[in-house]
Structure 1
Amino acid sequence: MTKRHAGGVGVSPTRHGAVLAAMLTLILGVSAAIYVGVGSNDGAQRQEALTHAPRNGVAPASTGVWVGAWSASPSGSEPGTETNGLAGRSVRNVVHTAAAGTSARVTLSNLYGHGPLTITHASLAVAATANTPAAAADTMRRLTFAGNTTVVIAAGQQVVSDVVRVAIPHDGDVLITTYSPTPSGPTTYHAHARQISYTAEGDQAADVTGTPYTTQSTHWRYVTALDVLSNEADGTVVVLGDSLTDGITSTMGENRRWTDVLSDRLRAAAGSSDAPRYSVVNQGISGNQVLVSGLGRPAGNPSGLTRFQRDVLGRTGVKAVVIVLGVNDILRNPGQADPDAIVAGLRDLVDRAHARGLRVVGATLMPFHGHRGYTDQRESVRRTINDRIRSGRVFDAVVDFDKALRDPYDPRRLRSDYDSGDHLHPSDKGYERMGEVFDLESLKGAAPAEL
């Protein structure tokens, strides 16, 4: 290679500075391209969304990892919305975050719609306080989709918004608002939010006061995920479960599901133990089973096997999976539930996770003596499944919720202070206990190698 000495082709100081400036511009351009590629590696729809610069704010910071800050599984179509959906109303969903971030994006779903859903205005803001439709100062952002303020979501589909630059807090509320002016058919929703959300007449998506939002709702509508670009998490834990994970008997608006406790523990332990730096997203659906889906097309309350791709593998930055399913396969079976079939279904879920290199923690099935569905035969099936789970031949690691919450004097039932009163679902104290007994280090590592 020829070396250029001082006596060769000379470069003036002015020209030298220009060359450096040009090189710096090139490097910054390449870095931005790399950022877009990394940020969009979890699905074609996200890739399309992120290749268009948002029109409503500064370009997102390029540091951190995309993780799930919140998510909820669409569980069916909302009764009473079969014809018009929520046409002419602004829907302000209140969601609680499991990770902080410097940028955010939102997933909207029309999975259960029978026709196209037209969203002409969508926004995101940090809530001013807990349990309010009012936005914190200077946090309101209009959402765009491939650079457009209007998006049409086909029946059975979902869309991911462009990235907006906004500081999202950990353990805080975020307001995600949609407005559709036209009838769209059934509203896709998550039935049991344990969180108050709001609606207002007309297009109030940009409102920051919360005053127009006079109607309350206990559902999450249309929105199914909030992702953030985070410096405090390296990945996402997805919890696939039923009402015990959905938190059906936890106190409304206080975020006392066992997954909320797990999320807080993981963040508190970050940097001070061998616990991984993960956020937690809750993919519980009340009444969910491993094997059997509900009625309809698409099926309402789809089984764990049916929704695993959508609700687990489709989540952002997933590193580990927690499975808390099986009780409803016993309770809702009109005949005699087959423990072999239920365990085989659980193993199928584990195999799918392993194919993606994901570690799987599974839970034992908690007792339900005293519940209206209890029989001695069903108790026998529950114990058989728990024996298989504890043997270590189903999951990579086990969290023994049965042992942690059962009555030591009658292991067929929940301990009285852990019982919500229906003898199936925990109290707030019971949910707290579930989150506390979870071994954080059990989430660490990849799937074991198949021999």
Structure 2
Amino acid sequence: MHELSPVPPSGRSARPARRNFLRAGPLLAASLAVPALPAHAQSGAGEHWSATWGAAPAGPPPSASTQSFTSQTLRLVVHTSIGGNRVRVRFSNEMGGTPLRIGAASIAVRSSSSAVLQSTLRPLAFGGQSAITIPAGAPALSDPVELSVPAQADLAISLYLPGSVQATTLHDMALTSSYLSPAGDYTSSIAMPVSRTITSWPFLTEVDVDGPASTLVAIGDSLTDGARSTGNVNRRWPDYLVRRLQGSLGAGGRIGVVNRGISANLLLNDYATALVAGHDVLERFDRDVLATAGVRYLALLIGINDISYSPSSNPIPAADLIAGYRQVIARAHAHGISVIGATLPPWEGFVYYTPAREAVRRAANSWIRNSGEFDAVADIEAALRDPQDPARILPAYDSSDHLHPNDAGYQAIASAFPLAPFVAATTPPLDFLNRY
């Protein structure tokens, strides 16, 4: 697990009236509609895809901690947000230095542990072929397959890796148990034998389903990745947001939610010695946001690591963070994506807290709340702070490190997101749906 571990140093015009209106949140949700977005190029007649699950690829890890597989099958477990009748899967060798050979792959609805429901098991193909070699630095998208994918269900994606393979591209902190077989191709097995479990997602970055829906991408650091939440029960704040959207908006809650948080990630910088923490948000934006199927919304919760890793007595200026936020907003708006900015949480008592760093956090939060440059604001600080000591996280929400929330705190973060921007999201324009 990589959660804020020490790392060595190495616009659009403001619209405050609209932003403040959307900040009013859930009570206005039933009466608001989202403006139509600009037209986009079509990718294929009748092809309407939205991401139901995703994770941000990172790596390569240090050689001493790189996982190796030898002619084995990975069965990777993921949890959907929305359902559909067809599905496709995105794999990644984007951080790899050599070609990645996938000898066979399949997808199914999981029943329990490493077992799947037999009636749902489907082989995956790539251009009609059962195997594919993904070049170094590239992703690959499977052919669509017919499969009834339920909302909020576990899927098992299995891939057989012939020969010796190193997991140079992965999402390190899955908080979900996946499975590695003994030697052999078990992609078509209902109950796969297990040699060991893993808690990362090698080579897997997205699952898409068909049908009219929009996608929200949540991008950030360990706070979005779900550090210190309970494993195997999906209690990161994006997971809670899925349940809230579907529970509060009914049919209007058909919005795919994709978690692109990476523990220890930054807005402005990355470090050659800690690439498992991912490239910075400005660098990975096109891959992790724009390339997500059906993306229409972006939730941005990032910046506390930029502050934490800067000098304790002379930290990064808030103006640098604000310039980064403005770049994210501008690049998202250029593609018709609405951006919800999230304030940085209270953190007094955390190991990297200093008064000088705290001043930067407060200045950044003031800008996020009051600039009018985001389309909406989720006030995470207000949701988590202790009313008796506002610089600290409420004890009932504190995982014990005074920054990362516990499960109840992550639920409070999800509850802080206004629902207004998502109303009518189930019927986006067809030109938008045909983007991917």
Where on the TM-score scale, by shorter chain, does this alignment land: which range? 0.7 to 0.9
Q: Tell me which amino acid in the other structure corresponds to 2:85.
A: T
Contact kept in structure 2, 1:339 and 1:385, CA below 8 Å: yes
Post-superposition shift, 1:41?
Answer: 4.7
User: Is the aligned partner of 1:77 residue 2:60?
Assistant: yes
Structure 1: gaps (5+ residues): 1-39, 51-61, 447-451
Within 5 A, what are the aligned runs for 1:192-203? 192-201=173-182, 202-203=184-185
Post-superposition shift, 1:280?
Answer: 0.8
Cα deviation 1:93-145 (Å, max 9, x = unaligned): 1000001110100001011211111111111111014xx11001211111100
Post-superposition shift, 1:267?
Answer: 1.6
Within 5 A, what are the aligned runs for 1:272-283? 277-283=254-260
Cα deviation 1:163-182 (Å, max 9, x = unaligned): 01011111110001111112
Among all aligned residue pairs of Structure 1 and Structure 2, give the percentage whose two residues are the same amino acid.
Answer: 40
Post-superposition shift, 1:437?
Answer: 2.2
User: Is the aligned partner of 1:176 residue 2:157?
Assistant: yes
Contact kept in structure 1, 2:167 and 2:203, CA below 8 Å: no
Aligned residue for 1:315? 292
Post-superposition shift, 1:199?
Answer: 0.3
1:68 to 51, 57, 60: 51
Q: 1: CA distance between counterparts of 2:65 and 2:232?
A: 28
Contact kept in structure 1, 2:88 and 2:207, CA below 8 Å: yes
Cα deviation 1:206-238 (Å, max 9, x = unaligned): 11113x1231111011110000113xx521011
Structure 1 residues 263 and 152: CA distance shift in structure 2, 3 A = same
Aligned residue for 2:271? 294
Post-superposition shift, 1:435?
Answer: 1.0
1:122 to 101, 105, 118: 105
Aligned residue for 1:440? 419
Aligned residue for 1:147? 128
Aligned residue for 2:350? 371
Aligned residue for 2:29? none
Q: 2: CA distance between counterparts of 1:412 and 1:263?
A: 29
1:103 to 86, 94, 109: 86
Q: 2: CA distance between counterparts of 1:95 and 1:76?
A: 20
Contact kept in structure 2, 1:125 and 1:175, CA below 8 Å: yes
2:227 to 225, 244, 248: 248
1:395 to 374, 377, 381: 374
Q: 1: CA distance between counterparts of 2:66 and 2:248?
A: 48
Within 5 A, what are the aligned runs for 1:204-219? 204-210=186-192, 212-219=193-200
Contact kept in structure 1, 2:53 and 2:80, CA below 8 Å: yes
Q: 1: CA distance between counterparts of 2:54 and 2:173?
A: 13
Post-superposition shift, 1:88?
Answer: 1.2
Q: Tell me which amino acid in the other structure corresponds to 1:226.
A: V
Post-superposition shift, 1:332?
Answer: 1.0
Q: 2: CA distance between counterparts of 1:316 and 1:270?
A: 22
Q: Which has the higher contact order (CA 8 A, sep 6+)?
A: 2
Cα deviation 1:337-377 (Å, max 9, x = unaligned): 11000011011000000001111100000011111101011
Contact kept in structure 1, 2:82 and 2:254, CA below 8 Å: no
User: Is the aligned partner of 1:268 residue 2:250?
Assistant: no
Structure 1 residues 398 and 258: CA distance shift in structure 2, 3 A = same
Structure 1 residues 80 and 205: CA distance shift in structure 2, 3 A = farther
Question: SS at the partner of 1:128?
Answer: strand
Q: 2: CA distance between counterparts of 1:41 and 1:415?
A: 48
Post-superposition shift, 1:445?
Answer: 8.4
Post-superposition shift, 1:264?
Answer: 1.2
Post-superposition shift, 1:276?
Answer: 5.7
Q: 2: CA distance between counterparts of 1:41 and 1:287?
A: 36
Q: 2: CA distance between counterparts of 1:205 and 1:80?
A: 28
Q: 1: CA distance between counterparts of 2:424 and 2:336?
A: 9
Post-superposition shift, 1:295?
Answer: 1.1
Cα deviation 1:50-97 (Å, max 9, x = unaligned): 9xxxxxxxxxxx6x8411110000121245588884231111110000
Aligned residue for 2:210? 229
Equivalences, count: 382
Q: Tell me which amino acid in the other structure corresponds to 2:137.
A: G
User: Is the aligned partner of 1:408 residue 2:410?
Assistant: no
Within 5 A, what are the aligned runs for 1:82-93? 85-93=68-76
Aligned residue for 2:18? none
Cα deviation 1:378-401 (Å, max 9, x = unaligned): 111100111111113331111100
Post-superposition shift, 1:269?
Answer: 3.0
Question: SS at the partner of 1:181?
Answer: strand
Q: 1: CA distance between counterparts of 2:384 and 2:320?
A: 26
Q: Tell me which amino acid in the other structure corresponds to 2:51.
A: G
Q: Tell me which amino acid in the other structure corresponds to 2:94.
A: L
Q: 2: CA distance between counterparts of 1:411 and 1:82?
A: 40
Aligned residue for 1:421? 400
Question: SS at the partner of 1:180?
Answer: strand
Contact kept in structure 1, 2:376 and 2:418, CA below 8 Å: no
Q: 1: CA distance between counterparts of 2:273 and 2:42?
A: 32
Bigger mean CA offset, 200-209 vs 415-424: 200-209
Question: SS at the partner of 2:235?
Answer: coil
Contact kept in structure 2, 1:83 and 1:183, CA below 8 Å: no
